[in-house]
Amino acid sequence: MNIGLFGGTFDPVHKGHVALARAALEQCKLHRIYFVPANIPPHKQRRPLSPYVHRYAMLALATAQEKVFVPSLLEAPVEEEGGARKPRQEKPNYTIDTVRRLKSSFKASDKLFLLIGMDAFADIAKWHQAEALFGECEFIVAGRPGYSLADVANALPEKLRPRPEVTRPFHKQPATGDLVLPGATIHLLGDLRQPASATAIREAAAAGKPLGRFVDPLIAEYIQKTGLYK
Ligand code: ATP
């Protein structure tokens, strides 16, 4: 099976995330996609995140209607004996660890694809064991307006990055198609034209504005009922 892993903070999950997953499903013939909310994301510790349980609950709602979208507890807070949680002492969820844990349950014929948006991919070289991550799975990257194939290639960890003379013609090419390099395979979804942003959604919710344009009605209702971003 071709299996997708889609990680993020999902605070909240929105139509942009679902569009990315649907496009990946079709273009790369995936059989299942795990949506993995991070308990402690290594790269987003500037603002306090909503509690994990809320982010997971919204993901469960967003994935309920699609058989092959699976909400995953792979990066859930670790429960101490007796059920007590100690979030401050927990370490960040590194994608390489999650990928290896998921792959340990794979059959030999299973193949893993990591789903990611271009804005997050732009920082991929700074991720923990970035180079090893490209060895463990293929990437599916959703473009954002203004990004070219050169931006994708230049974002790669140094050892995998093609030389500048190779990527120069890439500047004029949109981020679509497949980029197959020694040590890295990247499938590009192009721009999904989904302007939803979790930051904008949290701001709209705080201001009591309607959220229906950017999130599923069930999620809008959940946010309203729980007063999550007030
Ligand atoms: P925030 O505004 O809180 O940073 P975010 O949606 O960008 O929210 P995450 O929930 O961590 O942050 O995103 C998970 C993944 O979804 C990332 O790889 C990100 O690039 C991608 N993504 C986010 N929004 C969109 C969108 N509108 N279209 C396509 N991909 C997106």
pTM of the entire predicted model: 0.94
Q: What does the alpha-carbon distance between residue 111 and residue 61 come to, in Å, rounded to a whole number?
A: 27
List, for residues 188-226, the tens digit of each pLDDT value. 998 888 889 999 999 999 999 999 999 999 999 999 999
Percent of the chain scoring above 70 in pLDDT: 94
Determine if ligand 1 sits within 6 Å of the CB of residue 16.
Answer: yes
d(CA 117, CA 111): 20
Ligand 1 pocket test: which of 20, 22, 72, 202 has the largest number of ligand atoms within 8 Å of its C-beta?
Answer: 20
CA-closest candidate to residue 117, choices 145, 98, 75: 145
Helices 52-63 and 217-226 cross at an angle (nearest 10°) of 150
Q: Closest ligand 1 atom to the C-alpha of 199? A: 2
132-189 residue pLDDT tens: 999 999 999 998 878 888 899 999 999 999 988 888 877 777 777 899 999 999 999 9
pLDDT reading at 77 higher than 70: yes
